[in-house]
Amino acid sequence: MTALIVTESLFGNTLAIAEAIGGGIAAVRGRGSVQVVHASRAPAELPADVDLLVIGAPTHTLSMPNAGSRDDAARNGAPDPERAGIREWIQAVRIPDGVDVATFDTSIHTRIQLGTAARAAARALRRRGTQTTVGPSFWVTGMEGPLADGELARATRWGRELAERTVAVR
């Protein structure tokens, strides 16, 4: 079985977290068991061997990125953001029953998190009938990053936990 990690990353921080999560999953399931792909290149219909889907995006204005927030990021130095991201992919994808789905995001750490991309993605997926686990926020030190100390290791641990949980269930 395969884990698919679909991500949107404007400054590279969310992609780095996605790859670390993938490393954790691969440590449990073996190499070749994980694929990380940008939302603009993700399949609209999941391959039959995908049993774990992990979706991640940066938090923009308490939610998932949208066209306006991607434009803002480009004005602030994001290299050529894709026109379509997680928000659009969630509206297009068909997720079969039986696929475990979890979300994560990157966010600037604040004492109170009013909204995150992980929560918004999970809500959008649930509205489409997909049971989803809201995963953690991984901290960045500013809009462009970098990631806070220890976040890549934390992402790897979370990837291992996801893989162990799905292996135990199967």
pLDDT in the model for residue 111: 80
Residue 166: the pLDDT is 80
Report which residue type is found at 165.
R
Kindly tell me if the per-residue pLDDT of 72 is higher than 90.
no
- How do residues 130-165 score in pLDDT, each as one tens digit? 999 999 999 999 988 999 999 999 999 999 999 998
Three-class secondary structure of residue 2 per DSSP: strand
CA distance 64 to 106: 10
SS3 state at 147: strand
Question: What is the per-residue pLDDT across 33-46, written as a single tens digit (0 to 9) for each?
Answer: 999 999 999 999 99
Beta strands in 88-156 (DSSP E): 100-108, 133-140
**pLDDT score of 169:** 53
Number of structural domains the chain divides into: 1
User: Do 2 and 50 form a contact (C-beta atoms < 8 A)?
Assistant: yes
Domain that holds residue 50: 2-169
Q: Please give the average per-residue pLDDT across 72-95, as a whole number.
A: 86
- pLDDT for 14: 97
At residue 168, the pLDDT reads 57
Which CATH number is 35's domain given? Answer: 3.40.50.360
At position 54, the amino acid (one-letter code) is V
User: What average pLDDT is seen over the chain?
Assistant: 93
Give the mean pLDDT of 102-113.
91
The position carrying tokens 């404007």 is 10
Residue 34, exposed/middle/buried by CB under 10 A (0-12, 13-18, 19+)? Answer: buried
